[in-house]
Structure 1
Amino acid sequence: MMTSQLIEEDLDRIERTFNLDLGRIRKDSAGEAASYYPQIEQAFRAEAREMAPHYEVFYSLERTIRTLVADSLVAADGPSWWSSSSRVPQRIKDDCENRLKREGDAGVTLRSEDPLDFSTFGELGQIITSNWDVFGALFKSEKAVARIMANLNTLRGPIAHCTLLAEDEVVRLHLSVRDWFRQME
């Protein structure tokens, strides 16, 4: 059994190194996905594997920023900060609530009932900079935060819309994430 596991690990490494699909059945391709995933071009599957770590970084960062925004504004104005304060520009409120309604009208499971979860990355940046009285204590520079958020918003495009992130942009993503956290030191 141990020998089989070691062989499987070696085959996994060979597939990654040489960008191959040896057609082995893996846990992640079992079940329902196994019926359609093999029909997708190998090149697209390889690109997906290459992009997965960047998606994970961006997903985690965006969720972290949403939580930071919500927690900070709850601390400033209480749990009804979204509806009872002027912390969120009305246009952003309207757009988020319209997206929430549109998703509900589509008959799919709502991703969330929190309108903040329907804000775009750019809107999150606007909420932070328009509430600098709250966020200024967390960050070193409003201009730097605005620039970093703009960079991240630009980088979000290829990640969210399933195109490859150029090598330079991978570096830019990592630097932007470092810049974000450096602003909070």
Structure 2
Amino acid sequence: MSFTYNLPFSNERLLDGIILSLKRKQEAEVAHLLRGASLSIETGGYSFYDGGWGRSNAMATSIYLYVNPVNIEGLDSDETKELLRLTCDKLIPAEVGFDVKRIIIEIDLTKDFEVEDDLISDLEKQSDRISGKILSKILPADIKEKGYYMAEVYTYLYAVENSLRIFIEQVCKEKYGDNYFDEINVPKALRNTITNRIEKANANKWLSIRGESKLFYLDFKDLGSLIDNNWDVFNKYFPSRDFIIPKIDEMAECRNLIAHNSLVEETERSVIKTYYNVILKQITKGLQG
């Protein structure tokens, strides 16, 4: 059999595929530890002569994963590396001619990881100090799995919510200037909400600020109300009210579930990811146009 010896996709795409495959195998913890990692591929001699197995004219291949230093301990075990090796071997098309022989886990020192708040890492460190018997009662494995799952859902919501805030501000500034908030139609209830939250923020200096813009004092659903009440400003950016307002309302409901530590089901998760892509694509196209 002849081989191409070239991947038909990038190393970044392969890493994305690894993470997705791990999630499908219910290996969410391993997938989480690969967030922010990078990947490189190194080929050696013929596969059959490296370890005594493999296709005769395929290349013995090593996959290097460069990961966050705080995650390396959770990844650098024989069991995990074998899981990763088998996952990589399945993802690389047979006609490429790469037989994955080994996974090498290395520390990635190109990023400043100290500035990141890794709550999961802190959780693991605390867990190590508690006996396994007690830990299994207060932090079951399925709760940790659901935590990783919900963290991913929240990331989508956080991204689209704050992108909407920036979008609204840019559109309004373009029409009314820096004092746009005095010109747009903001219902009295929303103005009261903003005033109360600013007062609370000023009274509690130890809390992190929401941001300079008043839009950061509004909830996800309030952003939809703002667009709806100023439809004459935003109508050129969306096909219709029914295109954007129900989507924001539905995502806001999911955000409320997360805020109350309720589990978002797979159906809602798929909707969130779809709306995330649709809304960001629409507002990006609108601003570029």
Relative to structure 1, the CA distance from residue 13 to residue 133 in structure 2 (aligned partners, 3 Å threshold; closer, same or farther) is: farther
CA contact (8 A) 1:145 1:183 kept: no
CA contact (8 A) 2:160 2:279 kept: no
**1:96, distance to aligned residue in structure 2 (A):** 1.4
* Larger Rg belongs to: 2
1:130 counterpart (205, 229, 254): 229
Q: Which residue of 2 aligns with 1:89?
A: 187
Q: Distance in 2 between matches of 1:174 and 1:31?
A: 26
CA contact (8 A) 2:221 2:248 kept: yes
Q: Distance in 2 between matches of 1:138 and 1:151?
A: 20
**1:132, distance to aligned residue in structure 2 (A):** 1.0
Q: Compute the RMSD of aligned alpha carbons.
A: 3.3
CA deviations over 1:105-141 (Å, ceiling 9, x no partner): 1232323232210101111001001111111010000
Kindly indicate which of the two structures has a greater share of residues assigned to strand. Answer: 2
Structure 2 residue 200 is matched with structure 1 residue 102:
yes
Kindly indicate which of the two structures has a greater share of residues assigned to helix. Answer: 1
Matches within 5 A, 1:1-185: 8=76, 11=80, 28=118, 36=126, 38=128, 41=139, 42-82=141-181, 84-108=182-206, 109-181=208-280
Corresponding residue pairs, total: 172
Q: Which residue of 2 aligns with 1:23?
A: none
**1:33, distance to aligned residue in structure 2 (A):** 5.7
Unpaired stretches in structure 2, ≥5 consecutive residues: 1-61, 66-74, 85-106, 108-112, 131-137
**1:175, distance to aligned residue in structure 2 (A):** 3.0
Relative to structure 1, the CA distance from residue 139 to residue 51 in structure 2 (aligned partners, 3 Å threshold; closer, same or farther) is: same
Whichever residue aligns with residue 275 of structure 2, its letter is S
CA deviations over 1:73-94 (Å, ceiling 9, x no partner): 1111111111x21432222122
Unpaired stretches in structure 1, ≥5 consecutive residues: 16-25
Relative to structure 1, the CA distance from residue 141 to residue 31 in structure 2 (aligned partners, 3 Å threshold; closer, same or farther) is: closer
CA deviations over 1:19-73 (Å, ceiling 9, x no partner): xxxxxxx985798666535566144332211112111111100011000111111
**3-state SS of 1:136 partner:** helix
Q: Distance in 1 between matches of 2:272 and 2:120?
A: 32
Report the more deviating stretch, 138-147 or 116-125: 138-147
Relative to structure 1, the CA distance from residue 14 to residue 98 in structure 2 (aligned partners, 3 Å threshold; closer, same or farther) is: farther
Per the normalisation by structure 2, the TM-score is 0.51
